[in-house]
Each structure stands twice: as C-alpha cells, then as structure tokens.
Amino acid sequence: MVKKTEIIKIQDIRKAEYKKRKELRLCVWCKAPLEDGAKGTLCKDCAKKNKERSRENRDFYIKQGICPICKKERIYPPEKSCYNCRERANQKEMTEEEREHRRELARLRAANRIENGLCPECGKRPPEDGYKRCAICRGKQRLRRKTWEWSKKEAWKWNGVCVSCGSDDMQEGTNVCKRCYAIDCKNLEKGREVLKNKRIQEQIEKGVLIVDAPITYKKRKIKDPIIYKK
C-alpha cells in the first residue's frame, strides 16, 4: 500500500505561528513580549517600522497613478483612491451602537482636553485667545477646507457633472446642471438690474436722466429715448 504524501503549505505554517505568538502575547514579527495593556499584535519598534513602510508604499502607488488600496485600478487627481474602493468604504455599514460609542468617546476626549486648558482637537497646545482651538489646528482646518473645496470642484469637472452641485442632469452647452443654470440666470438678471439702477443714479447725480422707451421685441421697434433735465 502506497502511503499518501502529506502536503504542507507554507501559508498554513505561517498562520499557525502567527496564532501561537498572538496567544502568548508576543510580537508577531520579532517575538518580543508585548507590554501590559498594549493593543495590537506588534511591539512599538515593529509598529513604527510598519507605519513607515505603509506610508512609503502608499506614496509610491499614488505617484504611479494607481489606487493604494486595491493596487489595481487607476486614480485620477485629485482623488487618492479609485471609485470602487470609495464605494466599498461608503457602503460599509456601522450599527447605531457603534456610531454612538464613537461619538461618546470623542465627546469625552474633547471635554477632558478643554477641562485641562488644551485644544480639544490636538490636546497639545492651549487654545488661541478668543477661539476654541489652537493656532496650528485652526490653520490646518482652513487648509483642509480649502483643499477639499478645490478637490471637489476639480473632481466634478473631471467627471463631467455640474461644477456647482455635482448633479448629472446637465444643461446642454454648459458645465452646470439645469437647476444651477436657472439659478445663475436669475442671479444674472438681478445683477443687471443692480447695474441699471446704479447707472440711473449716476445720471441723476450728474443732472441728466436718460430713460429708454420700452422695446417691442416682436416688431423690434425702438423709439427715441426721453431725456429729463433738472
């Protein structure tokens, strides 16, 4: 009787070793004992190396124009991930209990920092006079808002949707949707009315007021203007 050769996969060996080190509270990379209360499966040195390596890999894929998450699809600036990965992230469901737990932790953390006289966002520096956050966090917030607005507009323009709201119900011959086109036309009429009133006011101040007669658009007849003098 021929004995069957047992096939051992390297992947199974690695899984077993990983599980063993995790149960013994050892670093899964270097086998160093983990500190009491430490989270994760890596020691401080290995966690730092892993973070640096992940950052280098992410920057490399972004420079090559490839999604750093799936490493397959192309990305188009200013986006930093492909459409499919963003959709999967948006569709990831979170229970209401998890959301509430996350909000509660954020509130407690911010309240503790404010009580100690620190910035509620970073917890490193005192807040700027007259503001809730420190000067550095306020600057970062302004930069994030500016960058986000620019990225949003550029992404809408790149994808061929409305550059004002992102709708795909486009007005033919323009780069805005039908709704935004109507709003722009309305604002344009208001602007013309303001300029017209300003021109009339300037003429009144000069002493001469020129009032154009009403135009009949059907027959295109224009009468002579009426001039009023003081």
Give the domain ranges of the chain: 105-159
- What does the pLDDT read at residue 211? 54
**Highest mean pLDDT range out of 8-17, 53-62, 206-215?**
53-62
- What does the pLDDT read at residue 227? 46
Mean pLDDT of the chain: 81
Q: What angle do CA 46, 50, 56 make, to 5 degrees?
A: 145
Would the pLDDT of 149 be above 70?
no
- Residue 141's nearest CA partner among 131, 126, 129 is 131
> What pLDDT digit, counting tens, does each position of 41-96 carry?
999 999 999 999 999 999 999 889 899 999 888 887 767 888 888 888 777 777 88
**Highest mean pLDDT range out of 3-17, 67-81, 108-122, 196-210?**
108-122
Residue that wins the pLDDT comparison between 149 and 213: 149
Contact (Cβ atoms closer than 8 angstroms) between residue 212 and residue 221: no
**Which pLDDT band holds residue 150 (cuts at 50, 70, 90)?**
low
Would the pLDDT of 228 be above 60?
no
Would the pLDDT of 5 be above 70?
no
Q: Percentage of the chain with pLDDT > 70?
A: 84
- d(CA 65, CA 71) in angstroms, rounded, equals 10
φ/ψ (deg, to 5) at 204: -65, -40
Calculate mean pLDDT across residues 183-193: 87
